[in-house]
Amino acid sequence: MARRFIVAGNWKMNTNIEEGILLAEQIQHGQRNPETEVILAVPYTHLFPIKKKIKASSGIRLAAQNCHDRNAGAFTGEISPTVLNTMKIPYVIIGHSERRMYNNESNELLASKIQAALNNGLKVIFCCGESLDIRRSNEHVNFVKQQLEESLFTVDSTTMKHIVIAYEPVWAIGTGETASPQQAQEMHAAIRKMIHNKYGKRIADNISILYGGSVKGSNAKDIFCQEDVDGGLVGGASLDSSDFLKIINSL
214 vs 175: CA distance, rounded Å: 7
Pairing status of strand 123-128 against strand 37-41: unpaired
Ranked by CB distance to ligand PGA, the top (closest) residue is: 235
217 binds ligand PGA (CB under 6 A): no
Closest CB to ligand PGA among residues 110, 215: 215
When binding is defined by CB under 6 A, the residue of 5, 167, 235, 244 that contacts ligand PGA is: 235
Closest CA to 71 of 123, 128, 121: 121
* Using rule CB under 6 A, residue 200 touches ligand PGA: no
Residues 9-38 touching ligand PGA, rule: CB under 6 A, are 10
* Alpha carbon distance 23, 62 (integer Å): 13
Q: In whole angstroms, what is the distance from residue 9 CA to residue 19 CA? A: 15
Under the criterion CB under 6 A, does residue 214 sit at the interface with ligand PGA?
A: yes
Site map (CB under 6 A) of ligand PGA, residues 146-185, x = contact: ----------------------x----xx-----------
Please say if 108 is a catalytic residue.
no
> Binding ligand PGA by CB under 6 A: which of 134, 210, 234, 247?
234
Query: Which residues 88-107 are close enough to bind ligand PGA by CB under 6 A?
Result: none
The catalytic position among 96, 105, 140, 188 is 96
User: Active site includes 227?
Assistant: no
Q: Which is nearer to ligand PGA, 111 or 233 (CB)?
A: 233
Interacting residues of 105 by C-beta distance below 8 A, sequence separation 6+: 95, 99, 113
Distance CA 236, CA 214 (A): 7
- Three-state secondary structure call for residue 6: strand
Q: 66, 96 in Cβ contact below 8 A?
A: yes
Q: Contact 65/96 with Cβ under 8 angstroms?
A: yes
Positions that interact with ligand PGA (CB under 6 A): 10, 168, 173-174, 212-215, 233-237
Residues designated catalytic: 96, 168
